[in-house]
Amino acid sequence: MVEITVSTLRVMYNGKWEYDVFVCFRGADTRNSFTSHLMEALSREEIKAFIDDMLEKTESIGELISVLQRSALSIVIFSENFADSSWCLDEVATISQIMEEFGHRVLPIFYKVDPSDVSEDCGSYAATINLKYGASNVPEDRKRWMGALKAVANCTGHTSQEIKIDSELVKVIVSDVLKRLVHMSPRVKSDMLIGMDARICEVEKLLALNVNDFRIIGLWGMGGVGKTTLARACYQRFTSSTKGTKRQFVRNIHQTREKENGMVGIVQEHYSALLSEDNISYEDLDVSYRRDRLSRLKVFLVFDDVETFSELEHLLLGDLLNTFNLFALGSRIIVTTRNRRVLENARANIYYVEGLHSQESLQLFGIHAFRQYLPPDDWMRLSAVAISYCKGSPLAIKVLGGTLYCRDKSYWESFLCELRKIPKPEIHDVLRRSYDELGIVEKRLFLDTACFLHRQRKNLVMKYFSIGYQCANYVLEDLIGKSLLIRVSSEDYENIEVHDLLREMAWNIVNEESELANRSRLNNADDIRKILTIRKVKTEGISLNLFKANEMYLEATTFEGMTSLRFLCFVYFSEEHGIRKVHLPSGGLDMLPDSLRWLLWDGFPSKSLPSRFSPENLVLLAIRHSPFIERCWEVQQPKLVNLVELHLSDCINLTDVPDLSSSPNLEYLYLQGCKSLIELPSHIQYLNKLITLDLGDCINLHSLPVKLNSKFLEHVYLSNCPMVIRCPEINSRLVHLDLMETPVRLSQSCRVQFSM
C-alpha cells in the first residue's frame, strides 16, 4: 500500500486544478467505444480530462498519485473485464484511499455490469479476483481491492442498465460532471479568493454556526482593505451550512442611503424580500403579526458598508432592547464597517480585517498586472516596488495592476518613480469618504497625525493634542474606531500609526486646500524654502528630511509671525549626522513661536535656543547630533510643564542639562553621547513619571543623583560611562539596566535584570 501524505495531495498554491477529471477505465473493454465517446463529449464542453494509455504500462503508482492530486474528480468506468487488470484494481484502491482520507470526489459508471457485480463478495469482480489472483497475490492485496471496489461502487453514479443508449448515458455523465465542478468551485472570482481562506476560518469561529443563539459579527477595517470581499466569500462559503435559512446580502448601504428613499427604502426592500411580501411600508413593519413572523425566521444576513449606528438601527427596526429577539435563534448577521463604534453599540463580535500579506499581494498583483498568479521572474523587482507602495491594500493593488497591465518596462520605471506624486482618484476617493465625514476638530487631528505623528507613542500624541483640545482623548479613540488611525502595541508602549495610503491621501488634501502661502502643513523642501522667506504665514506644521534637501540659509527673524506653527521638524533619516544643511546667522535665531508643541532639529546650528521662546506648550524637544549647542537656554530657563520627551543625544559639547524641576510630565530623557556632560542634576530624582533614562556613552559623566524616585522607571542605560562608580538607588522594578563598560557598584535596592 502506498503511503499518501498531506504534502503529496496539497493543491497548487493558485487553488486551480490542472485537470477537471481523471478517467479510470479498462482499455480492452471500452477504449474504442464508450470511453472514446465520453472523452469527445467532455472535450466539447471544455472539460479537461486526463487519460493516458501509457500510464498503465509504466506501472508507477507515484505517477498516478501525481495525476490524481492535480485532478478535481475521478470517473471510474466499471466494465465486464475491469477486474482482470491488476493495474485497474490498484488505480481504484488509490482513488478510494484518497477519497476516504482527503475527500476526493468519485463518479462511478457501471457500463454493462450490475453494481452488485462490483461491490458484493459474491459478485463477478470478487470471483475474478479470487480466481486470477488468489494464488499469486497476498491476502492483503485482495482485501484492499475488494474494500476499494465497495467504497467506490457505493458512491452516487450512473448505470447503463438504467440508461441503455450510450449517447444518452454520455450526456447524463457530462451534465453531472459539470454540476459537480461548479459546486466544487468557489462562486466568487478567483482574485477574490486570494488571502481569504485564513480570514474565513477566523470569521467562522465567530459565527459559530453550530451554536443555537443569535449573533452579529462585525468585519471592521479601513476603506479598500477587503471587508466586502471577505463578507461575500463567507456568504458563499457557508451556503450549505445555512440551508433552511433566509439569506440576503444587502450591498453598499451607506452609499445607497443617499438615494431618493434613503434608509427607509433600503429597509422596506430588505424586509419585503425576507417576508416574501410585496412593498411592505416602513410603518407596516411594526405590526405585531409581522414581528412574530420575523421572530420565527432564521436568517443569515450581510449588511455591507454600514457607517453609522443610525443606519444599523434602521436595519434592525430601531428596537435596540430586543435586537437579539428580532430573529429566530441560530440567526447570524455580518456587518461590514469602517467604524468600530457601530459594532460595539450592537454588541457584535468584531473581526479586524487586515491587509494582504506580501505573498498574497504578489498573487493579486500578478492577476491584474499580468493576468497570471505571479509576475514573471524578470518583472519581480518592479512588481515588488508596486507591492511595497500598496501596503497590503487590495484596492490599491488592483488599481496599480490595472494601470500597469500591458505596459512596457520603461513605462513601469517612470510610473513607479513618480508613484507618490501621481494622484490616484480610484484609491483616494474610496479612502477620502471616511475623512469627509469627520468633524472640524477630527479632521485637524487626523491631518496632524497623518502628516507628522505617524509611529509616535500614543501618550506623546495624546499630550500633543490635549493642548488646546479638551476632547483629544475622545477624538483620538474615535479616529482609531473609524479606521483612520491604528493603535499598535509593543512590549513597552503603544504607537499610533497611519496606513501609508491614508498618509498620502492626507498630504493630497493639504496640498489641495489652498495656495502655498496659506497651506497648513508642509513637507516639500522647495515649498518650505519659499515659506520661510515669506514669514507671516498660517503654516501649522513643517517637516523636512534634511538628508534629501539642499543647503538652506535662515535669517534670525525667519520664524517671526508664524504664530500658528505647532510642529517644526528638521530631521536626518540617515546616520550621516555630521551633514549640516540648515544654516543660521552667527547670533542664532531671534525667536521661535510660542505655539510650538513639537520641536525636533537634528544638527541644530547654534549654541542655544533663542531667548524669545516660551516653550510651555512643548511636548517633545529633540536637539540631536548638534556639535554646536552647549546649553538649551543661555538666560533664565522657562518652565517645561507639558514636556514628555527630551532628546539631546550626541550633542558632544552640551555641558548642562535643562532645569526639569518644573517638568512633572517628563517620561523619556535621552542624553546618550553627551561627552561634555559631567553632572546629572539632583532634581532628576524628582521626575516621578520617568520611564526611560539614557546616559550611554557619556564618558565624562561622574555625578548622578542619589535616588531615582519614579515608580514607572523601566529602562536605565549607563553603558560606557567609565567615570560612574555608583548606581542611584532605584525605587522601581527595572526591566532593563545596561552597565556595559561601566565600573559601577550596585546598591541592594537595584534588583534588576541585566543585559550584559
User: Among 46, 59, 91, 555, which one carries the catalytic annotation?
Assistant: 91
**Cα-based angle 623, 629, 631 (whole degrees, multiple of 5):** 95
324, 194 Cβ separation under 8 angstroms: no
Q: How many CA atoms lie within 13 A of 91 on its CB side?
A: 29
Going across the sheet that includes 105-110, the strands are 49-50, 19-24, 71-78, 105-110, 158-159
158: its cell numbers = 450512473
DSSP secondary structure string for all residues of 481-527: HTTSSEEEE-SS-EEEE--HHHHHHHHHHHHHHS-GGG-SEE--HHH
134: its cell numbers = 488468489
DSSP secondary structure string for all residues of 32-45: TTHHHHHHHHHHHT
218: its cell numbers = 462585525
φ, ψ at 56 (rounded to 5°): -65, -40
The single residue listed with the C-alpha cell 441560530 is: 330
The set of residues, in sequence order, having a beta carbon less than 8 Å from that of 583 and lying 6+ positions away, is: 551, 552, 553, 554, 605
258: its cell numbers = 443617499
75, 109 Cβ separation under 8 angstroms: yes
What does the alpha-carbon distance between residue 166 and residue 182 come to, in Å, rounded to a whole number? 24
471, 479 Cβ separation under 8 angstroms: no
Q: Is 576 a catalytic residue?
A: no
Strand pairing of 494-497 and 486-489? Answer: antiparallel
Nearest to 305 by CA among 222, 425, 200, 393: 222
Q: Where are the alpha helices (DSSP H) in 276-379?
A: 288-295, 309-315, 340-345, 358-370
106: its cell numbers = 468519485
**Cα-based angle 444, 582, 549 (whole degrees, multiple of 5):** 70
- Report the Cα 541 to chain-centroid distance in Å: 30
What does the alpha-carbon distance between residue 240 and residue 515 come to, in Å, rounded to a whole number? 58
What does the alpha-carbon distance between residue 398 and residue 434 come to, in Å, rounded to a whole number? 20
Count the residues in the chain.
756
DSSP secondary structure string for all residues of 356-379: PPHHHHHHHHHHHHHSSSS--GGG
List active site positions: 91
